[in-house]
Structures are given as structure tokens and as C-alpha cells.
Amino acid sequence: MIAEGPAQLFRDVVHVQMREDKKILGDVFYFSYGVIVTWGFSESEENELLLKSKHFEKEPNAKLELDEFTFIFGDSMRIEEDEIVLQNKNTLTKLAVSHGLAQSVKLTTFEEVIQKTIDTTKHLPSELAVKGKIPLSRKEISRKMGGLFIERNFINLHSEILDTPEFFWDYPELEPFYRRTAHYLDVSKRVEVLNKKLTVVHELFEILSDELKHQHSSRLEWTIIILIVIEVILAVLRDIFHII
């Protein structure tokens, strides 16, 4: 059983140093957006930490995202072939690197959400091009629009976590460690691709919105036509009965 050690708050990150029989086992960083970064634990110990964290989960993902690295200490900080070389054992150095690792994991969840959305709706534009309309009812279109709206807004509202963390306002000298980590994990390029995919989702949203308006206007046109036909029939009947 892992015993918890002292805890510290660094803006929106909680750091806990885990101990066992007064022996330091490793460091755990809890990020406010639902990511945990651990240093120095075995797989079983990590699973134990995750199990304890479940009591504090809110709206957890159905799938657990996991990224693994080994780490050693050396003369300068670098990352090569999924191995992190730290130049010292300072907790803040680990936190600087952890910010990049945490952002990468969170970005992965965003990427999967958007890609799933695109995959399930990519047939709509082609069907509109071939058939001239989307073969969905107003209710089904409204549901898809609602789903797209929720997923797009979820990412937009949480996209600020992919910016440079405010932690580096207090510790600017540590920002290079974060930058190297983010560069190795292609965070900037992946954010750019994510934004392009969000644009695709926005276009799909507009297509569905236009189709919904079209269905509504078509329904109104048919209603008007039916009312006109009824009025004509009534007028004819009045004329017939008047003649008779």
C-alpha cells in the first residue's frame, strides 16, 4: 500500500510525493483537466494510484488514454526514442516536462472525439451531392446537430489547456523543458490539425442546419399548397350547389 506524502499546489496542478515507510517512491502530478502524470512507479503502483483517483472523477472518458516513457538523469534535458533525460531531480523540472506530457494525452482524447464525429457524419455531404437531400428526418437531423454542437463546444471550451501553461509565468526559466517536450510530441502541429478538423465539423453543422431549414420550408410550401387546393375544392362545391 502506497502512503501519500506532502502535497503542493502549483496553480492548477497538485503535486504529491508518494512514500512507503518514509522512503520516497516517486512523484504524482494531478492536472485539473483530468490527466495524471507519475514518475518513478511500477505498473502495479500506477494502477493503485489510478484506482484511488476514481473517487474524484467527473464525467470520465470511456477509454483510458495512456502514454509511457522511461526516464534517466544526465547532463542536459532531452527526449529521444521515448526516453526522457532529466538534468536534475528537481520537482519543478519534472512538472515542466509533465505539462507537455499531460497536454499530449488530453489532445489525444480531443483528436479521437473529433475523428469519431467526422467518421460518423462524413457520408452526409456525399449523399447531399448525389441525392440532393439528406435522407434523415427532422428529428434525426436535430439530434446530429445537437451532438456536433456539444462536441465542438466541448473542445472549444477546453482548448485553452493546449496553450502555454500559466505555471511558466512564475517559472520562466523552466519553459524550455516544456517546449522540448511539446516539440517532441508534436503538440503544436496536432493542435493545428485539430483546428482544421473542427472547421470540418463546423461545415457539417452548417450543412445539417441548411437541410433542416430546407425541410421546414418544404413542409410549409406543401401546407400552403394543400390549403389552396382545399380552398379551390370548397369554391367549386359552392358554385355547384349554387347552380343546382
Assigned domain for 199 exists: yes
The pLDDT value recorded for residue 42 is 86
Cell of 51: 484506482
Assigned domain for 1 exists: no
Cell of 47: 494502477
CB distance 197 to 115 below 8 Å: yes
**Among candidate residues 16, 108, 110, the one with its CA nearest the CA of residue 56:** 16
The whole domain housing 214 covers 90-234
Burial class (CB in 10 A: 0-12, 13-18, 19+), 155: buried
Instruction: Provide the CA 149 distance to its chain's centre, in angstroms.
Output: 13
The pLDDT value recorded for residue 28 is 94
Rounded distance between C-alpha atoms, residue 151 and residue 107, angstroms: 14
The pLDDT value recorded for residue 211 is 66
CB distance 73 to 89 below 8 Å: yes
- Distance set, CA 163 to CA 2, 25, 103, 104, 188 (Å): 33, 31, 9, 12, 9
Assigned domain for 128 exists: yes
Q: Provide the residue-wise pLDDT of the chain in tens; the chain has 244 residues.
A: 555 777 899 988 999 988 777 777 889 999 988 899 999 988 888 888 888 888 888 878 878 888 999 999 998 899 999 999 999 989 999 999 999 999 999 989 888 888 888 887 777 777 777 776 667 676 776 777 777 777 777 777 777 788 889 999 999 999 999 999 999 999 888 888 888 887 777 777 777 777 666 666 666 667 777 778 887 777 777 777 665 4
The pLDDT value recorded for residue 220 is 64
Assigned domain for 74 exists: no
**Total tally of structural domains belonging to the chain:** 1
Assigned domain for 11 exists: no
Assigned domain for 207 exists: yes
Assigned domain for 165 exists: yes
- Distance set, CA 1 to CA 14, 21, 36, 54 (Å): 21, 10, 19, 17
Assigned domain for 82 exists: no
